[in-house]
Structure 1
């Protein structure tokens, strides 16, 4: 028997995060392209980001037929938030007149790379990247390397660079509650055994 879900945050009704989700304005438009396998993931941080930002859109799939239309947002310059040899640091766009359309693939690194491969228009976008060394609060997943952040953390860091001194930290409140809830559900002993310091 399945638990009743909140139709907005997709969490079980008893663990609804909606009261913690802010409603934040941003000059930057955020386009989240979520791999379809992530939709029902318990830790769906892309959805939290899309719900908390008024100027954000979440599209689910693997091949995005509407990409040409989605990327043609008048008044915005599209940039892909994804590492690469030619990626520019986010700081390079902090003082530009034209706001960014920040395109953020959401999925495991492998799935995100596959999305780029299947969507040549996406792969061809100029890339931006965050400063190295960001520390994730995502204590339930092993990071593939230093500076690997969850989708919502990466978006918060990007927006705080692009739109300083505005704070986007309220976006992290539902994320932290989600992590705490998962840890409480598994129990401290199981959490320490699987995710604690080795």
Structure 2
């Protein structure tokens, strides 16, 4: 018999994260477009990010027929958080944007799946692209060989909001993410974690 899950955070009830999920206001609107393969992922940080931000929306799919309406938010300038030749640093776009608020569109999936989302949704691919600063490191300590800049979706959103809405900080959004990691380490045992994942 399957274990009961929390209908909000989707975690098993005995490991519900809802008490750790904040409700943070942001001037920036965050639209997360999640590839369906990520929904059942053990972390699913996109869901945690959307739950923790008042001005955020999570959509799941490969093709988004209502994308024009999602992007045409009055008072917002849409941009895509994704690397590319013409991508500019997010801080630069935010400075140029003046008083207008940003609609930050964040694809959620592996690089291959994220590129597929762009391919299937040409209006998404046509958005101006922005990137985070180089050299950021993920707090996800269970990756065998974490690449610099390979952030989880929730980490990317936090870094982006910290840039756009400085001096406001959004670290509280990472509390359930940290708890998830600690839970995974506890489940595998400290010795196994040190042997397989801890770096010198």
Root-mean-square deviation (Å): 1.3
Q: Secondary structure at the match of 2:117?
A: helix
Q: Is the aligned partner of 1:150 residue 2:134?
A: no
Residue 26 and residue 143 in structure 1: after superposition, are their counterparts in 2 closer, same or farther (change >3 A)? Answer: farther
Q: Secondary structure at the match of 2:59?
A: strand
* Paired position in structure 1 for 2:34: 34
Question: Scaled by the length of structure 1, what TM-score is found?
Answer: 0.96
Distance 2:138 2:179 in 1: 15
Distance 1:143 1:90 in 2: 26
Distance 1:138 1:112 in 2: 20
Matches within 5 A, 1:94-173: 94-95=94-95, 96-142=98-144, 145-173=147-175
Alignment size in residue pairs? 198
Q: Is the 8 A contact 1:93 1:162 kept in 2?
A: no
Moved over 6 A (4+): none
In the TM superposition, what is the alpha-carbon distance from 1:144 to its structure 2 partner? 6.2
Deviations 1:124-178 (A, max 9, x none): 1100000000111011235663111110000000001000000100001111001
* Paired position in structure 2 for 1:75: 75
* Paired position in structure 2 for 1:88: 88
* Paired position in structure 2 for 1:174: 176
Q: Secondary structure at the match of 1:10?
A: coil
* Structure 2: runs of 5+ lacking an equivalent: none
